Chains A and B, each alone.
Chain A
Amino acid sequence: MSDTIGSSQLDAVKAPLFREVKKGEVRKHIITLTVRNELGVLARIATLIAGKGYNIEGLSVGETHEKGISRMTLEVIGDDVVIDQVVKQLRKLIDTIKVKDLTDTPHVERELALIKVHTATPRARDEVLRLVEIFRCRVVDVSPETYTIEITGTEDKVNAFIELVKPFGIKEMARTGKIAMKRESTPQEEE
């Protein structure tokens, strides 16, 4: 299970970086940003990162409880020196209020996926329902041929679930990017 996840990550790691990697381990970093929700702020961030030749793996955005302030979670692949540069560049943008690399800080991360699975046979319907139960996700839409399942969790969990329902045939799938937040406590209950 973790093997498949690992190899897909590795592929991304192998993708050539434009920038010469100077030192440190190349890995996926999770960066969170608090930004003023001004016109074009998203374009500005995407332009900056693409313009510097860095890979964006994931980007999710939403409003916070404060008016006019949005929160983004960004996944970028690179070594520590490269990512340090990304963080500094992001901090330089006028609309960013806070930028943090959470990779090495204890944090909570979640992703949401909607997966429409072929379940035309009674056996398939049973098995998929069992998986849904084990993974504590929900069926949110049912048709004679399909189940649509909502799952939230870490990237690993979502990936694992997808691997398990793949044999039934996935008709359609949508995943949000990751969202993340620093932990205030020591890890308690996981999943």
Chain B
Amino acid sequence: MPRKGADIVIEALKEEGVEIIFGHPGGAIMEVYDALYRDGGIRHILARHEQGAGHMAEGYAKATGKVGVAMSTSGPGATNLVTAIADAYMDSVPVVFITGQVPTHLIGNDAFQEVDIVGITRPITKHNFLVKRIEDLPLILRQAFYIARTGRPGPVLVDIPKDITQKLSDVSIPSLEEVKESLPGYRPHLEGNLQQIRRAVRLIMEAKRPVLYVGGGAVQAEAQKELVELAELMKIPVTTTNMGKGAFPELHPLSLHMLGMHGTYYANMAVYNCDLLIAVGARFDDRVTGKVEEFAPQAKIIHIDIDPASISKNIVVDVPIVGDVKIVLRKLLEEIKREGAKLFFPEERQKWLEQIEAWKKKHPLTYKNSNIVIKPQYVIEQIYEATKGEAIIATGVGQHQMWSAMFYKYSFPRQFINSGGLGTMGFGFPAGIGAKLGRPDKEVFVIDGDGSFMMTMQELITAVQYRVPVKVAIINNGYLGMVRQWQELFYERRYSEVDLSVQPDFVKLAEACGAVGFRAEKPSEVREIIEEALRVQDKPVIMDFHVDREENVLPMVPAGKSYRDMILEDGKKAVEAETMYLVG
């Protein structure tokens, strides 16, 4: 049946099971908004800025594992999406971005609100499309979803000229089979090579001091069961990256928590001294490795990843296994069991676990609490306790993000939502809104910095409009805290342009928007307002925690340095002598 291109868009989205779109309208996308209105079958959330819409779609995707959808008009609408697109690209988040474009005959003419968004986003999308013929529209949309969610997931942009949304066509929506056939070069590899898997099994059984290093790929594959089984069966301690949080339960005795720049002492020591590193869906990011030459210097490396290009990109590995993390781990476990799950050096393995326990005891994650001024870590611990460790946490970027990674313990995948790769301030709040809309059954806390919150705080009104009961805890230190910390440590306290002591009254701001606002200035008030916030069920809550202004995130490995240069929580350098403990 002939219908408008705009109706085809809605039809294709429904075919993909889309329930919710985050967006902002404008001239070039109006036909699609009209079709949305007439159809009434898909919910739309009107963000107040396209960046907000983009991060909401990301938060939704990260929390649910489904493909998020964000939509905007051409020109400035599309460029406002760019930060979210880049963010989704860096964290492999499946989001389809739909942008309006000027009519086909005006493309290239510097028409009103024209921008070459396909060109702009080429390096930050998994793939992107400009629709030139209405006949291609349904196939392209379905290709977009297929590409976004399969293989290594990622953002896909579809740019649709206005005249295409207006034209009539009776082209039908293609089947998934047709979609696959139309992409002859795109065949994600899922299975993992059996020979490599067997080599890995051998190394795992022979290792004396193995460590599992788990990243976001394991979260996406939802491989928690397999990871726990592998770790327990072979007695391997597990550290996760920032993106890998929740892939392995952090209360598990084998958990080493996070590694890298703000990793725990024991995770970094374990990685530095291990003789086998099993990387699972992790990409050896520089925030993890520090100085590459001194990263796991004695270790053989096994790398399991769905993206062949991730393997041996930053670090050359010994056993590469390309495939879906869950499928590969299953096969690996099968092989291990077939071999009788034996350890070649059970005593050494036991000694290794004891060594790790000793490291955990020596330098646990800790901070100096106070009963005069609120410590940011204390706020996060209190949120953890009040929510019994079951909330989804979304964060901005900065110190608060790292404290949220350290002092909340994550036990399920998709529980910790933050901007890992791009490090986008302003990500947390809209992402939290998207997460809450995707997971209404879960309590969602946004732990934000005062600086980060300011970047996308207009979405407060969006949360009010749609009655999204996210709880926002602003860790208000009156500084661009993380930058201040670097200035303190590496620039002799020259605090250049990081002072945020002039800020809005966040409680009044909340009230002005129709949300609820609380403030805590003393440690004794912290738990109280968290409990009060938890009682609010139909609107967003802002909690403004005035915290110690100059608290630092420690431990810390300075950028580009070795784990041996780690600064500990008492400000001292990591034990040079001890690092060498097992060398040779």
Contacts and interface: CB of A to CB of B under 8 A. Distances in A.
Interface of A: 22-23, 35-36, 39-40, 43-44, 47-48, 51, 81, 84-85, 88-89, 91-98
A43 B122 contact: yes
Interface of B: 118-119, 122-123, 126-127, 130, 132, 147, 183-186, 307-309, 311-313, 316
A51 B186 CA distance: 22
A43 B184 CA distance: 20
Contacts of B185: 35-36, 93-98
A144 to B, nearest CB: 43
Contacts of B309: 85, 88-89, 91-92
16 contacts: A22-B316, A35-B185, A36-B184, A39-B132, A40-B118, A44-B122, A48-B123, A85-B309, A85-B313, A88-B309, A88-B311, A89-B309, A92-B308, A94-B147, A94-B186, A97-B184
B523 to A, nearest CB: 48
Contact of A84 (B118, B130, B312): B312
Contacts, number: 46
A74 to B, nearest CB: 16
Nearest to B292: A20
Given A39-B132, A51-B123, A93-B127, 11 more contacts: A36-B185, A40-B118, A43-B119, A81-B316, A85-B313, A88-B309, A91-B308, A94-B126, A94-B127, A96-B185, A98-B185
B152 to A, nearest CB: 8
B122 A40 contact: yes
Contacts of A23: 316
A89 B126 CA distance: 11
Contacts of A51: 123
Contacts of B186: 94
A188 B491 CA distance: 67
Contacts of A89: 309
A81 B312 contact: yes
Contacts of B123: 47-48, 51
B364 to A, nearest CB: 36
B77 to A, nearest CB: 21
8 pairs of A and B residues whose beta carbons are closest in the complex: A88-B309, A97-B185, A94-B127, A51-B123, A47-B122, A96-B185, A94-B186, A89-B309
Contacts of A84: 312
Nearest to B118: A40
A19 B126 CA distance: 22
A113 B118 CA distance: 34
Given A85-B313, A88-B309, A91-B308, A39 B130 contact: yes
Contacts of B127: 93-94
A51 B122 CA distance: 10
Contacts of B126: 94
Nearest to A46: B122
Contacts of B307: 92
A25 to B, nearest CB: 16
A99 B280 CA distance: 26
Contacts of A98: 185
Contacts of A43: 119, 122
B365 to A, nearest CB: 33
A47 B130 CA distance: 17
Nearest to B122: A47
Contacts of A39: 130, 132
A44 B119 CA distance: 9
A85 B314 CA distance: 10
Contacts of B184: 36, 97
A48 B124 CA distance: 10
Nearest to B311: A88
B93 to A, nearest CB: 17
A43 B121 CA distance: 12
A128 to B, nearest CB: 45
Chain A CB count within 10 A is highest, among B119, B127, B307, for B127
A84 B308 CA distance: 10
B308 A88 contact: yes
